[in-house]
Amino acid sequence: MIVQKYGGSSVATAEKIRGVAERIKQRVDRGEKLVVVVSAMGKTTNSLIALAEQVSQEPSPRELDMLLATGEQVTSALLAMALCDMGIPALSYNAFQLGLTTTGSFNNARIMDLNLSRLRMQLERRSVLVVTGFQGVTPEGDVTTLGRGGSDTSAVAIAAKCGCPCEIYSDVPGVFTCDPNRVPGARKLDYITYDEMLELSSLGAKVLHSRAVEIAKKYSVDLYCGSTFSDERGTCVVNSLPEWLEQPVVSGVTTDSNQTRLTISRLPRSMEALSALFTGLAEQGVNVDMISTVNENGHSHLTFTVVDATEKAVLRTVRDVLAPWEGWSVSEDRNVVKVSAVGVGMKSAPGVAARFISALSRKGIAMLGTTTSEIKISALVATEDGNAALRALVEEFGLGE
């Protein structure tokens, strides 16, 4: 048994859906059984969100999920029809029909459990089941969605529960050292580790959703990323690189433009103020990323970046929380991007940080902040320097063809 997932670009038109059906038929003809997880067609999800905003200034999260879940249902039914037309007796299922239960966090729910009894019963009778990705249902029966990239998470969760491999298909033939649309000559990787893929996904790479990689790593799911539109070899995501393969210091670089930098000057140098600030941000669901402080004359100058938060929400929270203190000021800068290098080889290779910094310095790119982990180095740079920084790191670490 294999779980396959096809992204929105793979099923964007009726012709492409029939093409996917042809690929599935080839596997069935070889005697395989497949659970096929699908996304909504093309930009359907964006269109549905725009439609909701035409009728409501602030759509209810619950009703928005009811609306968005229809996109995948359309795709799954059409693909099942195409397969039946080819002589493959497929059935389509909503996630809730298979007992895929989630938390009640509308628009960004997390999978809690999956009932395989119906899935196994149907696979005894036929070779293909087509399942809606991106969605589930709460124990109370409300439809939920899993957030952007949620179809990846659906597919990997089903594969983990079934104990079988998972293949992710899209319009790119695998995982590259960086975005090939931005850096011509970016090299495709035959293998990448779960840890590296998790870092790259969380730092802005679009190939795989980070929560899907988390599940794959936790349950040791064999994960493969390939192209829907060619038979070119893709990328295997593995626990560790094969012994015969030379381990690179850096496996990939990526950028994340979804960052806002806030600077608070002359903040009272007390843990009480800092604790109140970050507690308040957490309570508002603000995702704080890079943090740095400078202490001077009894005051702190604090700089941090936030992800996935609107300017007004963050500034309002900062001002409300710090209202009891006086003398401070806050400013924000949206003209920033985070550029990151990732690689398990960093653990054993000295001087990676020096090479990273030197590569940016040679191009005259100023770093506005940094953060590191065992296998990652990130720097905040001005938006206009983002592409140059990406190319500099590709060149420095030999990530091109």
Which tens digit of pLDDT belongs to each residue from 163-202?
A: 999 999 999 999 999 988 888 889 999 999 999 999 998 8
5 belongs to an annotated ligand binding site: yes
54 sits in which H/E element: helix 44-55
Rounded to the nearest 10 degrees, the angle between the axes of helix 386-396 and helix 352-362 is 130
Whose structure tokens read 């140059």?
A: 388
Q: What integer pLDDT is reported at residue 34 of this predicted model? A: 97
Q: For residue 8, which phi and psi values (nearest 5 degrees)? A: -60, -40
- What are the boundaries of each domain within the chain? 2-171
Tokens of 49: 């969100």
User: In which order are the strands placed within the sheet that holds 252-256?
Assistant: 252-256, 336-342, 376-382, 369-373
Q: Is position 72 annotated in a ligand binding site? A: yes
Contact 237, 197 (CB under 8 A): yes
CA distances from 279 to 248, 319, 321 (A): 39, 13, 9
Calculate the dihedral angle through the C-alpha atoms of 106, 109, 111, 113, rounding to the nearest 10 degrees: -30
Place of tokens 């669901």: 285
Confidence bin at 308 (pLDDT 50/70/90): low
Question: Is 207 labeled as ligand-binding?
Answer: yes
Q: Which 8-state DSSP code applies to residue 187? A: P
Kindly give the residue spans of alpha helices, DSSP state H, lying in 284-379.
311-321, 352-362
The pLDDT value recorded for residue 182 is 87
> pLDDT tens digits for 319-353?
999 999 988 999 989 899 999 999 988 988 889 99
8 Å CB contact between 33 and 65? no
Distance in angstroms (rounded) separating the CA atoms of residues 281 and 317: 7
Alpha-carbon gap, residue 131 to 304, rounded angstroms: 41
Q: What is the mean pLDDT of the chain?
A: 92
pLDDT digits (tens, 9 = 90+) for 240-249: 888 777 778 9
The predicted structure's pLDDT at residue 309: 57
Separation between Cα atoms, residue 161 and residue 192, nearest integer Å: 23
7 is in an annotated binding site: yes
User: pLDDT tens digits, residue range 155-174?
Assistant: 999 999 999 999 999 999 99
Q: How far apart are CA 91 and CA 79, in angstroms?
A: 9
For 2-171, CATH gives 3.40.1160.10
224 known ligand binder = no
CB atoms near residue 159 (< 10 Å): 27
Q: How confident is the model at residue 312 (pLDDT cuts 50, 70, 90)?
A: low
Q: Which residues, other chains included, contact 208 with Cβ-Cβ below 8 Å and sequence gap of 6+? A: 149, 152, 168, 175, 197, 201, 223, 225, 237
Determine the Cα–Cα distance for residues 331 and 77; give it in Å rounded to an integer. Answer: 50
8 annotated as belonging to a binding site for a ligand: yes
The one-character DSSP state at 1 is -
Return the closest-CA partner of residue 197 out of 144, 252, 154.
252
Query: Stretch 92-97: mean pLDDT, rounded?
Result: 90
State the Cα–Cα distance between residues 93 and 7, nearest whole angstrom. 17
Question: In this structure, are residues 380 and 336 in contact, taking their beta carbons and an 8 Å threshold?
Answer: yes
| pLDDT at residue 311 in the model | 55
The answer to whether residues 138 and 144 touch, using CB atoms and an 8 Å cutoff, is yes
Q: Is 206 annotated as a binding residue?
A: yes
398 is in an annotated binding site: no
